[in-house]
């Protein structure tokens, strides 16, 4: 569909439905992803119409429809497998404006809410996730933490800055360490057959991209990974000159506690190595020569290449490494351009 047709369709919707036209269009546009094979919850969540519950003026709040959808799924799963739900409990340890209570009330289940805010909208205030114990147990824990320092809560949304506020961590690693402590603590508070639903987003700060869902610890059985569309963000009205990929999604990780005592877990660990002194099966002579030329600005003499690579593990395993270097350059003549006098350059400019 061309841009003109889209413009005309938008104008028709606006005339017919007034200011709600965009929400209607967004719901229509995502319906085929949000509902499949007779299921109302799929791996793609989109709620252009936030729904009622909590406070939409509370920055970073999620739609009560998000909590309702996962809560309904967990209840349906328990019913299907013949589990007792008469004492079903939803726990939200960072309850913000009380959205989870609205969702629980809607489906008629008990909810317990904690928050660091001394005067929360609902539930128990002045509860410190890093220092206080989770005294309650739950069948579903809905955990929607701050996304590092994107939005400051203490000292901004409420009260004074608090040292244990996850939105005021010193750096991303500090945030991740504290986030993982919370995940371990909340998972332990689950009842058998309980679920921990963690809603997080990717962030970009000071030119660096961080994926919280990728970096965070996972416990239990990884039951599902849901992508959630973001709507009506504060940044939507801004325009940027610098090329980058805007973040328009969040992610829900649904972790299932199948066993009371045995706990599977996973966490990622960053590492790095230097190609200059490491040999792995994926590293060919061609790769090594090309990357060595890149590191030198894209141009070197054969003598310089010999000297640079003579101590590399590949060279130590090959007594005829100089011949191998020359043969590799010859085999890839379109990528290594001869400049004469034994000098070669790459066929492209090095950034």
pLDDT (tens digit, 9 = 90+) per residue, 35-54? 776 778 898 888 876 667 76
Is 102 a member of any domain? Answer: yes
**Does the pLDDT at position 268 exceed 70?**
yes
| Angstrom distances, CA of residue 326 to CA of 96, 156, 296, 322, 350 | 65, 64, 18, 6, 21
Residue 277's contacts (CB-CB under 8 Å, 6 or more residues apart) are 311, 312, 313
> Do 125 and 117 touch, CB atoms closer than 8 A?
yes
CB 36 within 8 A of CB 42: yes
Residue 50 lies in a domain: yes
Residue-wise pLDDT tens digits, 187-219 = 999 999 999 999 999 999 888 999 999 999 999
Give me the number of domains the chain comprises. Answer: 3
Model confidence at 17, in pLDDT bands (50, 70, 90)?
confident
Q: Is the pLDDT of residue 99 over 70?
A: yes
Q: Which domain holds residue 15?
A: 1-34
Over residues 71-88, the pLDDT tens digits come to: 999 999 999 999 999 999
In the block, tokens 């967004």 appear at: 26
Query: Has residue 234 got a pLDDT over 60?
Result: no
* Residue 317 resides in a domain: yes
250 confidence band (pLDDT: 50, 70, 90): very high
Query: What is the band of 232 on the pLDDT scale with cuts at 50, 70, 90?
Result: low
| Helix, strand counts (H, E) of the chain | 10, 13
> Tens of pLDDT along 87-97?
999 999 999 98
CA gap 146, 60 in Å, rounded: 8
Q: Which two tokens stand for residue 157?
A: 């949304």
pLDDT over 80 (residue 61): no
Which secondary structure element, helix H or strand E, spans residue 112, and what is its range?
Answer: strand 110-113
* Closest-CA residue to 44 (of 232, 229, 247): 229
Which of 37-51, 179-193, 276-290 comes out lowest in average pLDDT? 37-51
Does any domain span residue 133?
Answer: yes
The answer to whether the beta carbons of residues 74 and 195 sit under 8 Å apart is yes
CATH number for the domain that contains residue 120? 3.40.50.150
Report if residue 86 sits inside a domain.
yes
Q: pLDDT tens-digit profile of 104-130?
A: 999 999 999 999 999 999 999 999 999
Q: How far apart are alpha carbons 46 and 67 in whole angstroms?
A: 12
Q: Are residues 1 and 143 in the same domain?
A: no
With 80 as the cut, is the pLDDT of residue 239 above it?
A: no
| pLDDT, the chain, mean | 90
237 and 98: one domain? yes
Residue 351 lies in a domain: no
pTM, to two decimals: 0.83
Least confident of 4-8, 82-86, 215-219, 337-341: 4-8
pLDDT-derived band at 24 (thresholds 50, 70, 90) equals low
Same domain, 340 and 196: no
One domain for residues 6 and 117: no
**Cα separation values, 273 from 20, 277, 314, Å:** 53, 8, 16
> Do 55 and 193 belong to one domain?
yes
With a cut of 70, say whether residue 236 has pLDDT above it. Answer: no
Instruction: Of 67, 68, 69, 88, give the one whose Cα is nearest residue 78.
Output: 88
The DSSP line for 255-307 is EE---SS---EE--------GGG---TT--HHHHHHHHHHHTTSEEEHHHHHH
- How confident is the model at residue 205, as a pLDDT? 85
156, 98: one domain: yes
Residue 189 lies in a domain: yes
């Amino acid at each position: 569909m061309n841009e003109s047709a889209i413009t005309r369709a938008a104008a028709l919707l606006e005339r017919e439905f007034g200011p709600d036209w965009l929400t209607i269009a967004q719901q229509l546009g995502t319906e085929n992803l949000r509902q499949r094979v007779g299921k109302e919850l799929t791996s793609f969540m989109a709620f252009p119409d936030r729904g009622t519950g909590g406070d939409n003026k509370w920055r970073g709040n999620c739609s009560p429809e998000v909590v309702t959808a996962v809560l309904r799924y967990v209840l349906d799963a328990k019913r299907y497998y013949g589990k007792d739900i008469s004492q079903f409990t939803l726990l939200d340890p960072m309850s913000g404006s009380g959205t989870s209570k609205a969702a629980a009330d809607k489906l008629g289940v008990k909810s317990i809410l904690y928050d660091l805010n001394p005067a929360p909208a609902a539930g128990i205030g002045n509860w410190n996730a890093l220092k206080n114990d989770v005294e309650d147990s739950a069948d579903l824990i809905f955990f929607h933490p701050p996304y590092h320092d994107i939005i400051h809560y203490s000292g901004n949304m409420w009260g004074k800055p608090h040292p244990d506020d996850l939105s005021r961590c010193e750096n991303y690693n500090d945030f991740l360490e504290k986030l993982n402590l919370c995940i371990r603590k909340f998972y332990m508070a689950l009842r058998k057959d309980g679920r921990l639903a963690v809603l997080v987003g990717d962030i970009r700060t000071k030119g660096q991209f961080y994926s919280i869902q990728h970096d965070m610890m996972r416990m239990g059985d990884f039951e599902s990974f849901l992508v959630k569309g973001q709507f009506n963000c504060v940044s939507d009205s801004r325009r940027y000159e610098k090329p980058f990929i805007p973040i328009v999604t969040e992610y829900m990780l649904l972790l299932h506690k199948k066993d009371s005592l045995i706990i599977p877990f996973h966490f990622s660990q960053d590492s790095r190595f230097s190609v200059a002194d490491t040999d792995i099966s994926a590293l060919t002579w061609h790769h090594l020569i090309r990357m060595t030329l890149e590191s030198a600005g894209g141009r070197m003499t054969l003598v310089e290449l010999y000297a640079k690579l003579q101590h590399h593990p590949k060279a130590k395993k090959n007594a005829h490494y100089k011949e191998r270097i020359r043969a590799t350059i010859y085999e890839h003549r379109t990528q290594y351009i001869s400049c004469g006098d034994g000098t070669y350059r790459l066929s492209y400019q090095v950034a």
